[in-house]
Amino acid sequence: MANAVLKVEGMTCGHCVSAVEKAVGQTGAVGKVDLASKKVSVEYDEGKVTIEAVKAAIEDQGYDVV
């Protein structure tokens, strides 16, 4: 398993946290959002999903991975 921490702009509330965590989850990775720091901790299996796919899933929800 690999880990990454992404900085994500545009998350403002609990709904955003849920949307991002759900989107990450749908890639097969596990995401945990810290709203205050705007960071998303991602744990993923490099053999099954790329961090690029996780970033794309977050951006598809309307947030910017910076």
Identity of the residue, 14 or 28, whose beta carbon is nearer to a second copy in the bound complex: 14
With CB under 8 A as the rule, give the number of residues binding a second copy.
7
Identity of the residue, 14 or 25, whose beta carbon is nearer to a second copy in the bound complex: 14
> Binding to a second copy (CB under 8 A): which residues in 5-64?
12-16, 19, 62
DSSP string of 36-56? Answer: TTTEEEEEE-TTT--HHHHHH
Provide the Cα torsion 60, 33, 35, 54; round to 10°. Answer: -30
Which stretches of the chain bind a second copy, using CB under 8 A?
Answer: 12-16, 19, 62
